[in-house]
Structure 1
């Protein structure tokens, strides 16, 4: 927790590390900004601080047109917090309120709508409707300034229930009409995005980022037909994959940092090819989770870099992230496929299952041809298609059946401890699989995998004891960022 005086010092020094962590509202101007706003620093007496953009908007402040506070990375708290508020924020980011309303959000969280409203308002200064509204406003601005979609279509694509609601929100948040907001983009606005169903955008992040590690990690595990990394190091590379979104399939492309670009440039270039533009917010949220873009690498490095054993590796690879995933059910299947076999063998088997049980794209896109199979489809997979021992076949079918009928939940709002217990109760699912899913599917930043062969190889490279008991003991000093330590050790091993 940080106090208001610390927040003001961050504003006075224009410290970008706090962008998204809090927002500064200036009473004399009626606007709110990110901490790194380049405008003249306001007097302390005129500053009020809010934990979310929605809270600032609810207090009557509008977004600064200079620093665009709605476009900053999200608070890193929503990555690692496992309480009700953290889980709710992840679900709101995924568009659950837009699709299912507050009642749907509350049901997923296992609380009443009144309890959810009270907790979010008490801590964040805004309830779920206001938080979702702020998210819709940001999506509307993006569509207005990057596409030629008619304003009416933008309203519904951004998730608004009516054009009037859309107009009122845009005026309140940006102090502009939708047409005025679009005019600000001028010649920078795309003229092809609307007809192509495509949007080019930037995915913001804080601190440095090691995209080389991210792309190496994803390329090694890329499922044929579902994912690919095009280009070769040290040249430019792009990660591409299919997405199964609520309103239709999509293809996403995210570029690594170009040669010569600083690691702290602040954004990754992304292109989304959507069947339905209403899926924009959900697609962006899932890609951000995949690339761990809301992380705070400075805080992680401060903890891990001070460790005598791991410190040199952390210093050598600034900005290393702990990638999540776009589909927890897909990751769960792939984790079981990877039990007791090499990464290459698991990838090959996953590709075969995708070709056999996945849903083909309406038209191929490069090497991408299919959506990864649903859990329901794989629950009935034939033995001839599962090149693995019978015990693992049964484990895979049992997992898929539990995911399909809701016995096991792995969505963004699930309680991690509860999900871990549900997984362990399934036959053939052990601690390594549960830990891997907690780390990647559930975004847990504090997971260690002491029995993992890559961990053991990484510890050996550090001349440290590599047996599971000694490894787990050494990792105690790396809490609460042990998931990042795992990736440092994997990087050493490779």
Structure 2
């Protein structure tokens, strides 16, 4: 649970009361009367303050016995790069790899070996800093992805199970029933789901507004061929600004690597950034005019390997640009992007 006390707890209460989208994915609120956890922007009727518990991740909320809200759907919330940046490098990298499916069919010992630490050290790092075990974190990611696929697609349950990282349909059904107290098929009952076209799958990737989509799209293709672990397919991306989400069309051939694909796309389009925090920092440092011109500017990654840039790492060989952006650490990459955009405009 979030150690939200004093001013921080009050800020979370105000964010929930205002349904503030800037806090979407930054924290989750559990309602003790219903044992459901929600996004801060949930449109459901507000619970009394005394019935709210705050969590810094969906996994922490589920560990405490809360189920995801069926209305705001926590599985659709953006990630929180700032929260991960606040933990140790080990916990950060481990969390990112687990979100990308590193424990699907593999053990915690395997992941620890890849990270160059002991299994015990990895478990303790995640328990201490993310407040859940590696297996609990992995299970939450699998269940929430499965929930998305059940609600948003017409995929058969067997394909949902394997695409979500489960190693068998029986295990999927058992875990789903135990955690959510319902059968997977119950989620789909009575829902109208659009069929798939041309062997493709359509999903959404949420982000916190604003998003400077035009500047992002100027350096990234709207459609690209990708390859992950031997699986190849096409990914097409469009922006739904009104809904604060990207609409992604994915070849069904990429279903076996859906978890790493989604994690990779979030990195490439920098969807877990917190523009309110970044823009405020850059504005206070003297870039307010550029922030006003391109609010929510993101640092694009690369479809090659589905890699994302880091806040301090701007992909350029322009040493002068990096030198100018140096003063805005830890958000140097965002400052460099704004300065680059301004330079491009000046040279037209």
TM-score, with length taken from structure 2: 0.89
Please report how far the alpha carbon of residue 301 of structure 1 lies from its aligned counterpart in structure 2 after TM superposition.
Answer: 0.5
Please report how far the alpha carbon of residue 484 of structure 1 lies from its aligned counterpart in structure 2 after TM superposition.
Answer: 0.4
Pick which of 136-145 and 79-88 moved more. Answer: 79-88
Q: Distance in 1 between matches of 2:106 and 2:302?
A: 22
Is contact 1:79-1:444 (8 Å) kept? no
The residue that corresponds to 1:208 in the other structure is: 210
Residue 307 (str. 1) matches residue 311 (str. 2): no
The residue that corresponds to 2:298 in the other structure is: 321
Aligned partner of 2:22 among 7, 17, 20? 17
Is contact 1:26-1:32 (8 Å) kept? yes
Please report how far the alpha carbon of residue 17 of structure 1 lies from its aligned counterpart in structure 2 after TM superposition.
Answer: 1.4
1:33 and 1:486, CA in 2 relative to 1: closer, same or farther beyond 3 A?
same
Aligned partner of 2:144 among 135, 138, 145? 138
SS at match of 2:195: coil
TM-score, with length taken from structure 1: 0.64
The residue that corresponds to 1:151 in the other structure is: 157
The residue that corresponds to 1:244 in the other structure is: 227
The residue that corresponds to 1:353 in the other structure is: none
CA RMSD of aligned residues (A): 2.4
Please report how far the alpha carbon of residue 80 of structure 1 lies from its aligned counterpart in structure 2 after TM superposition.
Answer: 4.3
The residue that corresponds to 1:272 in the other structure is: 250
Q: Which runs of 5+ in 1 are unaligned?
A: 219-228, 230-238, 331-440, 457-470
Q: Which runs of 5+ in 2 are unaligned?
A: none
1:117 and 1:74, CA in 2 relative to 1: closer, same or farther beyond 3 A?
same
Aligned partner of 1:167 among 169, 173, 196? 173
1:451 and 1:326, CA in 2 relative to 1: closer, same or farther beyond 3 A?
closer
Aligned partner of 2:43 among 25, 38, 46? 38
Alignment of 1:227-242 (within 5 A): 229=221, 239-242=222-225
The residue that corresponds to 1:286 in the other structure is: 264
Is contact 1:304-1:314 (8 Å) kept? yes
Is contact 1:445-1:483 (8 Å) kept? yes
SS at match of 1:294: coil
Residue 198 (str. 1) matches residue 203 (str. 2): no
SS at match of 2:342: helix
Q: Distance in 2 between matches of 1:10 and 1:276?
A: 37
Is contact 1:247-1:278 (8 Å) kept? no
Residues 383-408 of structure 1, C-alpha deviation per residue, up to 9 Å, x if partnerless?
Answer: xxxxxxxxxxxxxxxxxxxxxxxxxx
The residue that corresponds to 2:91 in the other structure is: 85
Larger radius of gyration: 1
The residue that corresponds to 1:182 in the other structure is: 188
Residue 69 (str. 1) matches residue 52 (str. 2): no
SS at match of 2:150: helix
Please report how far the alpha carbon of residue 450 of structure 1 lies from its aligned counterpart in structure 2 after TM superposition.
Answer: 9.2
1:451 and 1:68, CA in 2 relative to 1: closer, same or farther beyond 3 A?
closer
1:70 and 1:449, CA in 2 relative to 1: closer, same or farther beyond 3 A?
closer
Count of residues in Structure 1 that have an aligned counterpart in Structure 2: 338
